[in-house]
Amino acid sequence: MKTSNDPRHQHRINLMQALFSYSFNDQRSHKTIDTILEKIPDIDQKIEKAAPEWPIAKIAKIDTAILRLAVFELLYKKQEPIKVIIDEAVELAKEFGNDQSAKFVNGVLGTLVKEVA
């Protein structure tokens, strides 16, 4: 697994892992995810609209966690440039997902950005 000295990248990893864990046990292990969890219904709707052939329940849980974090950052947090958020999400998918995760995450986020722009 790749390590990074960038505290922002590590923070994203921590949030993604908390969201991933939440998908299994419905417990909040990281206080920052509360803000994200409040937006999950809207975030999931946006993901499903960008990938209509992939309902949330069919997407790998790690990919779902990465997408939820990225969509939250793109639509609600808005502190980083779009390209940075997408690049970070793709990197997380490469680090933690399967062989297809990075391509899938990039495609969903690319479609979402085109639709909301």
Residue 74's pLDDT is what? Answer: 95
Q: What pLDDT sits at residue 84?
A: 95
Q: What mean pLDDT, rounded, does the chain reach?
A: 89
Least confident of 11-15, 53-57, 68-72: 11-15
The number of angstroms, rounded, from the C-alpha of 85 to the middle of its chain's C-alpha atoms is 9
Q: Catalogue the E-assigned strands of 7-117.
A: none
Can you give the pTM of this predicted structure?
Answer: 0.83
Structure confidence by residue, pLDDT tens digits, 19-54: 888 787 766 666 668 889 999 999 999 999 999 999
pLDDT of residue 49: 94
Nearest CA-CA partner of 104 in 51, 58, 44, 43:
51
